[in-house]
A and B are shown apart, each in its own frame.
Chain A
């Protein structure tokens, strides 16, 4: 074999890359600093009231992202695969919530004054909606794993990813064919009507903290704490962590690996379902495509925080929500471009710190 490549060329190539990355980083950093300086200090476009509004929006959406991101991180931590269909699991939960509210709305409690079940017992209705939504999503996540991923566990890594993409397309279109492509308005119980909330006066203008937003944020924090307790304190959590570390050894220690993986999918599905119902309650629109963009954003959040790392996913979610709402304003760019910002951050994080903000440095095999 006289064709073998001499080593020096290889070294030259990697050296080019060695200088390129820092240069690129410095350029990006300088650009961001320049934009921040010109927008925040020179132009001073927005007052404190606008910033508060953006902060609130960011926190709310960030909570939802965090819930979905946890699902990605849990699954990635155990199987080293991106559950591409996770966003669709969330979409199914959102539909379930919508149908529950519709069903409860159609139950008349009294005719004079006209009162339906969902307004008469708002707390119970919301609990039912979340219970159904989480169950539906958990079951669909469970089935997804069983049908589309489990037989591929030993296959090369491209194969389950493509299977996941296929499942994602399938679920989206199944929902479109079943429920029609139209956008559905979710009718909340009266106490959670959209657009009303506490008002605080900042800078002479009213800033509304919407009830739905507070509810969403509080519930997502509660669920995240619950999950953290499950993973840290219970037997199931211990099994999950063991399987994530080393499947073979875990099996030798008497852990049922298949069952643990199934349970992981159940939990991540349930969280995605909760996120879906919240999405319906807060944003008010449910359609077959609703899970896709939040799914990708949540994956970004999981990567941002360090994939496989639970607190990382939570922080990453909140952080991404904040960047998305405040970033365009801070950098002085159009709000249409907030998705561009999110994806650009994904690319930057993976370029400069693939292990994320909190993640440990992964070996190249895992990345």
Chain B
């Protein structure tokens, strides 16, 4: 028993120590410290915050370590949880102390390891010792983590006290009851009223907000909107019909380049205008979807993913290559794309584009919803669940898979056209593999196959990084880690799709008509 206590706490401590070391080496502590300093409205010079915020960061990490160690304790014994927290904190602290000894040696000898490890400037290492003299710095590194570990254990132990538990339960029950009440009000007989109020408020917000909040927010939210359209399109392919497509951004590129080539002065000077180019882009993207899909209908899962990834890269390399430079502008891309007009009036301010994007999002949402709840949508779901069974039940799998690809690609074409026109620029590197993976991740993080999930995912993955500029360097790192953690803990996404269920009417007397397959979302 005590052996498991020791080994488990040791393992947690070592894990957190290694995480601490890693975060230190990538300069995460400085970034988070700066964020704390921003929140506390303390001015700082340079990228390294005041020591107090670094101490705060260490303490938070230690508390977390102590908490995760103490959480593993099954027996509800106060002391054991404390001990676990203390052990984990101490071990993490020891690792931190060893690292800080190395830092101290480097600092005292004025060796700058930045040639190999990018963030370890002398200032940074001094800050990691909390700007204290060597011995105190090392001791502080150890002490903060160990103490915080103990505190984490204490916190866990306290929270399992019956009174605290009770209070928490009461509070949770209160919240839950409130939510239930709200849900009751918004459904049932008040359903329509609330829906109308909600829609009116939403419409007002959509109409007035773009004019109020300035061009920066229009840009950020506009980008989110573009990604919502992309996410919905990919959801048709991945979420509904279950085909994993990794080169999705190629269709986006087709839409963007159609818009660019037809509306920019540089390579061809065709100047078709926005709307025909948008329509043509959508059609071309859908056509490309079918063209890619036709030879690949036999493939499933991983193979399809890799092939479409290859397709995306082919498109990007072709756009970039010398072969196409005279046609597509090569690596420089295409500039000065003309904006849209409505009835001869230019329609190209940031507010106008915001409306355009909102319109695109609404149309996409409408089409997506109609498709999902149609016979087509059910056919896709059946293919996703089991293709062989779907085929055996008479679903024309080839037709429906191609349809999903074509429609999803058309969404991407639409998004690409609007995006290129808004940015007045498109280039091959906008369409790199990373963008495809971004879109895929946003629908996975949000919850595959449903609209609220897509919107939430787009905000989380496109909106948040724009707002949290400090995170810029760590964005992709966090993103990769998030994908893994998400798959490990919550593979169905933040807002999981509800599966279609057969509702059996409560009254057995009622006839067949009441039986229906409902798709609740």
A positions within 8 Å CB-CB of B: 3-7, 9-10, 13-14, 16-17, 20-21, 24, 80-82, 99, 102, 147-148, 151-152, 155-163, 165-174, 177-180, 296, 299-300, 303, 333-334, 336-337, 339-340, 342-344, 346-347, 350-351, 354, 364, 367
Report yes or no: B476 in contact with A173, Cβ–Cβ below 8 A.
yes
Point out the residues of chain A lying under 8 angstroms from B311, CB to CB: 343, 347
Point out the residues of chain B lying under 8 angstroms from A172, CB to CB: 476, 480
Q: Which among A13, A170, A337, A350 is the interface contact of B399 at CB below 8 angstroms?
A: A13
Nearest A residue to B242, CB-CB: A158
- Please choose the segment from B46-54, B74-82, B112-120 that sits at the chain A interface, where 4 or more of its residues have CB less than 8 A away: B112-120
Point out the residues of chain A lying under 8 angstroms from B484, CB to CB: 147-148, 163, 166-167, 170
Nearest A residue to B305, CB-CB: A161
Point out the residues of chain A lying under 8 angstroms from B491, CB to CB: 152, 155-156, 159
CA distance A233 to B488 in the complex (A): 36
Q: A17-B398, A300-B310 are in contact. List 6 more A-B contacts (CB 8 A).
A: A5-B379, A80-B302, A158-B301, A337-B317, A340-B317, A351-B295
Nearest A residue to B438, CB-CB: A169
- 1/0 per position for B375-404, CB-CB distance to A under 8 A? 100010000000010010111111100000
How many contacts between A and B, using CB within 8 angstroms? 185
Point out the residues of chain B lying under 8 angstroms from A174, CB to CB: 22, 26, 477
- Please choose the segment from B318-326, B347-355, B423-431, B463-471 that sits at the chain A interface, where 4 or more of its residues have CB less than 8 A away: B318-326
Nearest B residue to A352, CB-CB: B295
CA distance A81 to B487 in the complex (A): 15
B46 to chain A, nearest CB (A): 18
The A interface, classified by DSSP as helix, strand, loop or mixed, is helix
CB-CB under 8 A for A340 and B440, given A13-B398, A102-B116: no
CA distance A137 to B80 in the complex (A): 39
Point out the residues of chain B lying under 8 angstroms from A151, CB to CB: 488
Report yes or no: A179 in contact with B116, Cβ–Cβ below 8 A.
yes
B positions within 8 Å CB-CB of A: 22, 25-27, 114, 116-119, 244, 294-303, 305-307, 309-311, 313-314, 317-318, 320-323, 375, 379, 388, 391, 393-399, 437, 440-441, 444, 473-474, 476-477, 479-484, 486-488, 491
CA distance A165 to B433 in the complex (A): 11
9 A-B pairs with C-beta separation under 8 A: A10-B394, A20-B295, A81-B302, A102-B116, A167-B480, A177-B473, A339-B317, A346-B306, A350-B307
Q: Which among B296, B300, B479, B483 is the interface contact of A364 at CB below 8 angstroms?
A: B300
B312 to chain A, nearest CB (A): 9
CA distance A161 to B118 in the complex (A): 31
Report yes or no: A169 in contact with B394, Cβ–Cβ below 8 A.
no
B31 to chain A, nearest CB (A): 10
CB-CB under 8 A for A20 and B476, given A161-B244, A177-B27: no
Report yes or no: A343 in contact with B488, Cβ–Cβ below 8 A.
no
Point out the residues of chain A lying under 8 angstroms from B393, CB to CB: 4
